[in-house]
Structure 1
């Protein structure tokens, strides 16, 4: 298969390297400034997975046919990234791996039923164009067809089922886990209940999870925010095992960090803070679910963002890449 990666940050590079190593053709869609410094190969550095270098072409604009388009930019960069995809291009499958809740609607307007909904759990950081440090042992992708695509499916699984099945096989062959979910809400919420409290707490603490744990008030807010996120997911008809989520938060390594914290600390603007928090707080109001801990952590993270260094004009945005 031919795959295009729109967003050559941490997530995009790790995904592209895994696909290329499995024998697939991979095209990276990069900004001009990054492509000028790209050497034609993705370099993966990992103490857990070992070092790896695989060749992959890079283009500034995607105007060639591909079987799958993986969208791995962050939400604030989505519109600019989509402008680098030819308007008439029709990949068989379009898979966004963004954080948040609102992006599927915008992508469906552009790509229609070819769009799936995806999420990835991985800790990977771009350190230079084409160079990524993969810090996590895990790399798990969740996928679901959109509601309209499922409604149009035929008894044999239809277009959405075929896309899901084909991509799940591709990811498994590439050494990445893939979990098909029954609907998009499950895909988005089951990542967000973990990511959102963790991202807000590490940003508020200006440090990784170990720093959060050493501050009792902040650690309590983290746990309360996770419980509130589970309640919101339930209001959106997504059941999440609260006990398991809290256990995960308690057993993650202390070095665990988030791209939101790293971007805020580095002065990258805009960050995905608004894309992560605003849809969740809006749903809390709609469902009349009290979320004082999430609200407080969002306030502290926003204050930290305001206090952080404003980037110099020459500093490129998203130089840290897209890290989940």
Structure 2
């Protein structure tokens, strides 16, 4: 299978690397520092099971996606539309775009931008870019994928590559469940610059997280979303299964990069306003992260 990864950061490098290890033709499209390192030495995949240099293609230009059967679409939610427009001239009519992003509405925005089949994916992985061309895996690594043309073949390839995959008709509910988990952790981890395991030891943190989740559950109910699993229990487990993980928002803030907070707590605030559901705790964290972005800038 010919696969391109658009926005090859930690998530894209991990799943693209897994497919490359299994023999698929993978091209990573990312930032120059990572591309240069990967071209020179391969992608270093440091995981709990192996530490290898994986050989694959890397480029900085979206034109490198030409001929791909599948694009793992991993850009920041803030860049969804602009990246899709850059990519569009190089996509085949049947190229599947798999949205592997934070937030719940990226697949919808992709469908409004390109005519190709689009599938939303819920990503459960703890990973980071530990240096140029070096992806470090901290835990998990499974996907929930929405049915679409080409999704079955991709799911089979991923499973054969060692990635657990579930095809689900309720990816919307799974995305919302993950959104509420992210809203509980991401901003707090960013503002304190603490990993999940240390974060939850703070006085009053679980109470704040419960309030954040309560607001999210109320918005989801008002929006007619059927959530997947027990969100409260899932929030508690994250600190146990990913104790050393810093949120993606924390990583962005530490590097002085724009965060995706508008698509996390900010999204809940906007949906709450539209549906008449108050979200004061989420509003405070949304505001504080933006203030922290300004101070870092």
TM-score with structure 1 length normalisation?
0.81
Q: CA deviation at 1:128?
A: 3.0
CA distance in 1, matches of 2:266, 2:67: 35
Structure 1 pair 212–303 and aligned structure 2 pair: CA distance change class (3 A) = farther
- Show the 5 A alignment for 1:27-46: 27-32=27-32, 34-38=34-38, 39=40, 41-46=42-47
Q: Which residue number corresponds to residue 188 of structure 1?
A: 175
Structure 1 pair 248–13 and aligned structure 2 pair: CA distance change class (3 A) = same
**What RMSD in Å do the two structures reach over aligned CA positions?**
2.3
Structure ranking higher on relative contact order (CA contacts 8 Å, 6+ apart): 1
Q: Which residue number corresponds to residue 281 of structure 2?
A: 293
Q: Confirm or deny: 8 A CA contact 1:196 1:276 kept in the other structure.
A: yes
Q: Which residue number corresponds to residue 254 of structure 1?
A: 243
Q: CA deviation at 1:34?
A: 4.1
TM-score with structure 2 length normalisation?
0.88
Q: Confirm or deny: 8 A CA contact 1:94 1:114 kept in the other structure.
A: yes
Q: CA deviation at 1:86?
A: 4.9
Which residue among 112, 130, 135 is the counterpart of 1:132?
Answer: 135
The unaligned stretches of length 5 or more in structure 1 are 146-159, 311-324
Question: Tell me, what secondary structure is at the counterpart of 1:214?
Answer: coil
- Show the 5 A alignment for 1:113-192: 114-136=117-139, 138-145=140-147, 160=148, 163-192=150-179
Q: Which residue number corresponds to residue 18 of structure 2?
A: 18
Q: CA deviation at 1:100?
A: 1.1
Q: Confirm or deny: 8 A CA contact 2:176 2:227 kept in the other structure.
A: no
Q: CA deviation at 1:83?
A: 4.9
The unaligned stretches of length 5 or more in structure 2 are none
How many aligned positions are there? 291
Matched, 1:94 2:97: yes
Q: CA deviation at 1:142?
A: 1.2
CA distance in 2, matches of 1:179, 1:231: 27
Q: Confirm or deny: 8 A CA contact 1:227 1:242 kept in the other structure.
A: no
Structure 1 pair 186–246 and aligned structure 2 pair: CA distance change class (3 A) = same
Q: Confirm or deny: 8 A CA contact 1:127 1:133 kept in the other structure.
A: yes
Q: Confirm or deny: 8 A CA contact 1:201 1:297 kept in the other structure.
A: yes
Structure 1 pair 63–290 and aligned structure 2 pair: CA distance change class (3 A) = closer
- Show the 5 A alignment for 1:68-79: 68-79=70-81
**Any idea what the Cα deviations from partners look like across 1:252-294, whole Å, max 9, x if unmatched?**
44323211012112212x2212222332211112222232222
Structure 1 pair 78–173 and aligned structure 2 pair: CA distance change class (3 A) = same
Q: Which moved more, 1:96-105 or 1:288-297?
A: 288-297
Question: Tell me, what secondary structure is at the counterpart of 1:139?
Answer: strand
Question: Tell me, what secondary structure is at the counterpart of 1:85?
Answer: helix
CA distance in 2, matches of 1:174, 1:37: 24
Matched, 1:304 2:264: no
Q: CA deviation at 1:84?
A: 4.4
Which residue among 191, 209, 226 is the counterpart of 1:204?
Answer: 191
Q: Confirm or deny: 8 A CA contact 1:205 1:211 kept in the other structure.
A: no
CA distance in 1, matches of 2:133, 2:8: 7
Structure 1 pair 251–228 and aligned structure 2 pair: CA distance change class (3 A) = farther
Question: Tell me, what secondary structure is at the counterpart of 1:238?
Answer: coil
